[in-house]
């Protein structure tokens, strides 16, 4: 393979999540990630597959200016993140320069959650990948709903039941309500299913991250931690590079 082809392949691999087969079993164009903006616009019913205490959380480095739609560096998963469910948030909440070069470079870091659900339409598991702010809203609704139902049945749990998740009318977050569909039989097999969160979170190789940081806006990260590689000629800072901040990328 020529060096050109090899470089092209590397670039492709970099921009494709590692779990290449992760969308298998879903119709063309549908991903394991629920497209929050478009798919939840009018509400969508799911079976909840895990209690909030068992939602996978991880961190992303991202920074940009919502008003001008500028991105200061490409969003990427923080290497100082759990790879499995059940981690202790306290152990990860502070950036760690020893574990993650982006933390060392003081790149902005945000907490994300993956909510595992069974999709009634596609009859398989999917995840809602949401920022902390949205997760807090969903957990608030979740607890309210479960508490109300427990008045009638102490044993009731929302896990395994149908809920509806809808984009709120102001478009800024999501709400969780009880769903009216019957729980499909196929959902049960996914309760306790070992969802490949690590693949879904797409942890990058360190050299890819260094490359991203080299291309970052120097006003928003500390490039001195990149050492020699930072001094090599790099393209102009990408501070005004236009990106498409869809409604799935609200700055919360
Ligand atoms: Zn980090």
DSSP characters for 191-232?
Answer: TT----HHHHHTPPPHHHHHHHHHTS-TTTS-GGGGGGGGTS
Residue 14 is predicted with a pLDDT of 62
User: What does the alpha-carbon distance between residue 29 and residue 46 come to, in Å, rounded to a whole number?
Assistant: 19
Ligand 1 centre distance from Cα of residue 34 (Å): 25
Distant-in-sequence, close-in-space partners of 54: CB < 8 Å, separation ≥ 6: 85, 86
Assess whether pLDDT exceeds 70 at residue 239.
no
Residue 20 is predicted with a pLDDT of 57
Q: Is 206 inside any structural domain?
A: yes
Instruction: Confirm if 61 and 108 have CB atoms less than 8 A apart.
Output: yes
User: What does the alpha-carbon distance between residue 5 and residue 55 come to, in Å, rounded to a whole number?
Assistant: 40
Give the pLDDT mean for 22-27: 86
Instruction: Tell me the pLDDT of the chain averaged across its residues.
Output: 88
Assess whether pLDDT exceeds 70 at residue 116.
yes
Instruction: Confirm if 154 and 136 have CB atoms less than 8 A apart.
Output: no
Residue 15 is predicted with a pLDDT of 60
Q: What is the CATH number of the domain that holds 102?
A: 3.90.198
Ligand 1 centre distance from Cα of residue 226 (Å): 14
Ligand 1 centre distance from Cα of residue 189 (Å): 35
Assess whether pLDDT exceeds 80 at residue 232.
no
Residue 69 is predicted with a pLDDT of 86
Ligand 1 centre distance from Cα of residue 195 (Å): 23
Ligand 1 centre distance from Cα of residue 42 (Å): 35
Quick one: which H or E segment has residue 71? strand 70-77
User: How many domains would you assign to the chain?
Assistant: 1
Ligand 1 centre distance from Cα of residue 101 (Å): 6
Q: Is 115 inside any structural domain?
A: yes
Ligand 1 centre distance from Cα of residue 96 (Å): 6
Q: Is 9 inside any structural domain?
A: no
Residue 17 is predicted with a pLDDT of 52
Higher-confidence position of 245 and 195: 195
Give, in order, the Cα–Cα distances in Å from 199 to each of 153, 192, 195, 244.
Answer: 38, 18, 9, 24
Distant-in-sequence, close-in-space partners of 18: CB < 8 Å, separation ≥ 6: 199, 202, 203
Q: Is 24 inside any structural domain?
A: no
Range of the domain at 49: 31-233
How many CA atoms within 13 Å lie on the side-chain side of 226? 24
Ligand 1 centre distance from Cα of residue 242 (Å): 24
Give the pLDDT mean for 160-184: 95
Q: Is 26 inside any structural domain?
A: no
Q: Is 16 inside any structural domain?
A: no
Ligand 1 centre distance from Cα of residue 62 (Å): 10
Higher-confidence position of 18 and 191: 191
Assess whether pLDDT exceeds 60 at residue 155.
yes
Ligand 1 centre distance from Cα of residue 112 (Å): 13
For the full predicted model, state whether its pTM sits above 0.85.
no
Ligand 1 centre distance from Cα of residue 95 (Å): 6
Ligand 1 centre distance from Cα of residue 6 (Å): 28
The torsion defined by the Cα of 54, 56, 58 and 60, in degrees rounded to 10, comes to -130
- φ/ψ of residue 151, rounded to 5: -60, -35
Assess whether pLDDT exceeds 70 at residue 57.
yes
Q: Is 70 inside any structural domain?
A: yes
Residue 29 is predicted with a pLDDT of 87
Q: Is 155 inside any structural domain?
A: yes
Give the pLDDT mean for 230-238: 46
Higher-confidence position of 246 and 41: 41
Instruction: Confirm if 75 and 61 have CB atoms less than 8 A apart.
Output: yes
Ligand 1 centre distance from Cα of residue 80 (Å): 5
Give the pLDDT mean for 61-75: 91
Ligand 1 centre distance from Cα of residue 76 (Å): 9
Ligand 1 centre distance from Cα of residue 97 (Å): 7
């Amino acid at each position: 393979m020529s060096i050109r082809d090899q470089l092209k392949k590397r670039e492709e691999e970099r921009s494709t999540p590692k779990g290449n087969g992760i969308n298998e079993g879903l119709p063309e164009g549908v991903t394991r990630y629920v497209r929050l903006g478009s798919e939840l616009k009018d509400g969508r019913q799911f079976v909840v597959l895990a209690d909030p205490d068992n939602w996978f959380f991880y961190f992303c480095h991202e920074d940009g200016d919502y008003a001008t739609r500028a991105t200061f560096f490409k969003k990427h998963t923080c290497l100082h993140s759990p790879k499995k469910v059940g981690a202790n948030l306290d152990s990860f909440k502070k950036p760690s320069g020893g574990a993650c070069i982006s933390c060392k470079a003081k790149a902005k870091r945000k907490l994300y959650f993956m909510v595992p659900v069974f999709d009634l339409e596609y009859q398989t598991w999917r995840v809602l990948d949401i920022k902390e702010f949205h997760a807090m809203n969903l957990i608030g609704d979740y607890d309210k709903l479960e508490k109300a139902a427990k008045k009638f049945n102490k044993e009731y749990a929302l896990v395994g039941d149908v809920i509806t998740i809808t984009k709120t009318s102001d478009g800024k977050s999501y709400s969780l309500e009880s769903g009216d569909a019957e729980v499909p039989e196929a959902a049960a097999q996914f309760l306790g299913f070992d969802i490949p969160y690590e693949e879904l979170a797409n942890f990058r190789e360190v050299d890819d991250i260094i490359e991203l940081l080299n291309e970052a806006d120097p006003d928003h990260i500390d490039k001195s931690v990149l050492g020699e590689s930072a001094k090599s000629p790099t393209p102009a800072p990408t501070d005004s590079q236009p990106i498409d901040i869809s409604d799935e990328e609200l700055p919360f």
